[in-house]
Amino acid sequence: MFDRYFAAYSKLLSFNNLEKAWAHSSPQTLEASLLRTRQLLKRLGNPELAMKFVHVTGTSGKGSVTHLMHEILRRGGEKVASYSSPHTTTYLERFRIDNKLAHPDALALALEDICSAHEAHILSGHEPLTFFELNTCAAFLLFQRAGVDWCVLEVGMGGKYDATNVIPAPAVAIITNIDLDHIELLGPTKTHIAQEKAGIIKPGCLVVTGETDPKPLQVISKAAKQAGTPMLVIPNDTQDHREHNADICRAAGLLLGMPPLVIELALENTKTLPCRLEVIQTEPRVILDGAHNSAKMNATVARVAADTKGKVHVIFGCKGVKDSLSMVQALSKIADSVSTTRYTVGYGNPENPAKLLAAFPKRLRRKAFLFPHEALADALKNAKKSDTILITGSLYLAGEIRTHWRTEKQILKDRQS
């Protein structure tokens, strides 16, 4: 039923072995990323020029903010699409048009044309695009053909040199917050990271940020001043990241002229994204969560601790370059048992489960698994109905385990993630 889609996606994946390990290793190679993305988009007729944008970056919450802004615009009567990454269970999740995921056939057609254009690009002597760069071009082509008026565009990483930053000035540039993540590429301090994320600010846009720490905020303010654009700073009065995300979207929606009632209806009725503290089963309760840095993990642990009565069984796996020790320390505060594992499908190498296991306290029941569904089966066997199983550390891991309840073909069939 979805043969054309799977074939097109497989062809797109076949370009991965052309991707250079150093593709994002220096300012020069990062600048080259924007160049080759622009080259391919020009070959495709510059589909990105056919729509208006809300551009979203930040260390935490940018996926949720992208999702909420999509709903605000949709409920305001606009034809809207959104592009986000990574996906959890199916590639289709990256592309949403109005109230559904993109149609598999429409996405297949866009991917076929992207692959053909990329082949011509390579054979004419240009550097191959990365997987994310190709995805970004596919989003613009898909959305142009769908006739959308607005695209809510989530940055993949950073901002200044991210492939999404080939767009003209967005109507609103949103920077949710600044924290330490991807420091091997974005820099060792919040100030360095702020400089990268502030790169989405362009003359002619409006800026909304949830960052209040003086040093990174100063960087964002300077970028807005240099671009000659107004900026709103949204304080986190509740210390609840979900409420803070909603406040950011509320401000951005008002700047876009959305009626207050429309904004509130969108914020109150939008479902949470997959694998963001998603309760996918009860008795025992199973929570899927993609927290993958210290700040996100501390927020996850606080939420679970405040809403758990029985024992907590943790299934944990993360990417090898992550600060796993800080996440282990946070999880150790609530865990009664822990299983470490890895994702088998996803970008970047996962950390060795045995190495992760050794970092957890010996007082916990501990076991390492190379295959995530084996870790899940063990946890389900040992958990009581009143217990909680928390699967966290990586969106790739949470998404892979999510197929136990929700398969890719089921999602493709009804186009609800």
* C-alpha triplet 35, 37, 41: angle, nearest 5°: 115
Cα 375 from chain centre? 25
Single pTM value for the model: 0.89
Q: What is the pLDDT of residue 279?
A: 94
Contact 161, 38 (CB under 8 A): no
Q: In what order do the strands lie in the sheet with 285-288?
A: 278-281, 285-288, 388-392, 312-316, 337-340, 365-368
- In 3D space, the residue among 220, 61, 55 whose CA is nearest the CA of residue 136 turns out to be 55
Q: What is the pLDDT of residue 224?
A: 94
Q: What is the pLDDT of residue 17?
A: 87
Contacts of range 253-261, beta carbons closer than 8 Å, 24 or more positions apart: 253/69, 253/72, 253/73, 253/76, 255/171, 255/172, 255/206, 255/208, 256/54, 256/72, 256/73, 256/76, 256/171, 256/172, 258/72, 258/73, 258/76, 259/76
Q: Which segments in the chain show pLDDT lower than 70?
A: 21-28, 180-188, 239, 417
Q: Which residues contact 384 (CB under 8 A, 6 or more apart)?
A: 284, 310, 311
Q: Distance between CA 206 and CA 197 in Å, rounded?
A: 15
Give residue 31's pLDDT: 79
Kindly report the number of other CB atoms within 10 A of residue 191's CB atom.
14
Looking at residue 181, its pLDDT comes to: 60
CA–CA distances in Å: residue 312 to residues 109, 113, 275, 287, 343: 45, 47, 17, 10, 21
What is residue 351's predicted lDDT score, i.e. its pLDDT?
94
Residue type, 156: G
Burial string for 20-39 (b: 16+ CB within 10 Å, else e) reads eeebbeeeeebebbbebbeb
Q: Is 152 helix (H, G, I), strand (E, B) or coil?
A: strand
Give 345's contacts (C-beta < 8 A, 6+ positions apart).
Answer: 396, 400
Phi and psi for 242 in degrees, rounded to 5? -70, -45
Q: Which fold has domain 3-270?
A: UDP-N-acetylmuramoyl-L-alanine:D-glutamate ligase (3.40.1190)
Sequence spans of domains, the chain: 3-270, 278-402
Q: Which superfamily, per CATH, for 278-402? A: Mur ligase, C-terminal domain (3.90.190.20)
